[in-house]
Structure 1
Amino acid sequence: MPLIQIQDLTYEYDDFKLGPLNLELDKDQWISIIGRNGSGKSTLARLIDGLIEAQSGTITVNGLEVNEQNVWQIRSQIGVVFQNPDNQFVGANVEDDVAFGLENRQISHEEMVKRVNESLEAVGMAEFAKHEPSKLSGGQKQRVAIAGILAIRPQIIILDEATSMLDPEGRRDLIQLIRHLKDRFHFTVIAITHDIDETVFSDQVIVLDQGKIRMQGCPVEVYHNRDQLMDLGLDLPFVEKLKLKLQENGLAGLTDDETLDEKEMVAKLWQLNSNM
């Protein structure tokens, strides 16, 4: 049974319509939902979390339909990291902020201290436990926001443009951190983004445009539809663009190569160069 099942879902506001959408998302996967601004990415995330209500169709999360009766039980299984972590902070210091979600769930003090310490250690922020969140850098703030979500032990983490306020190095660091945490804690990631480079390590990529699913598949399958991606206002990941440029300059055999990682591609190029 899919972890998340969406059937005939529609949602309208102003002159925008999302859907009808039909979608199944499996457990323990990294699912990237990509599209330019206004394509419906964040609207879909809010529908899954029950922050807004669908006008027709159904969403089922872990066997529970998203409705008024089940919404709080469903939200207890989902953590959301927004693009501006300042909007999520409520504690006077880092450890208080991470503990906030646990206090709302009436977790015992002993268990709360254990989870806060474990979560801060997991994201590399244990030494900042007594710091004020407002004094941290953008990347550090996102790490604290992630720690607060880890502490509640969610089955699903939604990244809603979570890297958009970070510089390129900060984006890479955050994505690598979440990949590591996913492997350790075994949660499902739904990453909402407009940056196609962030989709490289996904299990599944879903391309939205004007509220409709235009493409869906593993990264390699989606990237091979280069012309369609361009028509939708999206670019190719760096490694894919590099392959095309090398092909144009006479280096054959890379266009259909499935390597997506930059370090792996560098190693492959060194190997090709040594064989020439």
Structure 2
Amino acid sequence: MDITPRSFPITNAPAWGRVRRSRRVADRALKVICAIFTALGVFVLGWILLMLVYKGGSALSPAVFTQVTPGPGTEGGGIANAIVGSLILTVLGIVVATPIGVLAGTYLAEYGKGSKLAEIIRFVNDILLAAPSILIGLFVYTLMVPPMGGYSGWAGGVALAIIAVPVIVRTTEDMLRLVPGSLREAGAALGAPLSTVIIHISWKAARAGMVTGVLLATARIAGETAPLLFTALNNNFWFKPNLMGGVSNLPVMIYQFALAPYDNWRELAWAGALIITLSILALSIAARLLLKKDHVR
């Protein structure tokens, strides 16, 4: 049988041509719309960043890093206590969240896998990823602040840890799932128990990705304000050794100083916003470099 193209002539060529032209027009229109909105987003983001660099950079000085936040109506001052307080709260949150997140992610990837319990944990983890941080702050406030007799850095660290845990869990699980099963089988063939295979093979192979997850979680909580308003609050002095009575921190300081009627307070707010933005940018770049290095390997 002759099945050459001549056996099936195109009987409706003009209509087919119109359809193709309409599709080209629709495709080009969508490209133009996407390009316009992309340019709009980049313009707004660039405007915000340029304003932050301009006003924050002009407010930076050695005093910003060496002096404590000034009182109302007081000239000068810095944000050294807020910087140190933010570092303490962030480190405290990550120290609490890292073992919980890594072990939970390891269970989901190595032990639970497709079990019902693993599905429930993933569902709860997804809820926590999308949960408003202010709700987490209210939860920790009810759980810790009244029983402990007031605001504290401990409550702030716990609130930040709850926000960081889902990020670490998700990243750890994803990175461990990328480890080839042949590596686990090789360890099991040598007689190693599953715990040894996980610690010495799976974790080692996914090490860079897991560290990336911790860095991303750190960047996620470094700029959180709402949970700290209900837990660590703020003050204009250095923190107490027991972290009780409130701990000065950059996010809450920026929020309070930006709304203040004092010019030097607003300048310090811009300086603090620039510092915290650069810190988050550095953490994000480090995380991407580690992840890229892991993929290259």
- Where on the TM-score scale, by shorter chain, does this alignment land: which range? under 0.3
User: Which has more strand, going by share of residues?
Assistant: 1
User: Which has more helix, going by share of residues?
Assistant: 2
Which one has a bigger Cα radius of gyration?
Answer: 2
Give the TM-score taking structure 1 as reference length.
0.24
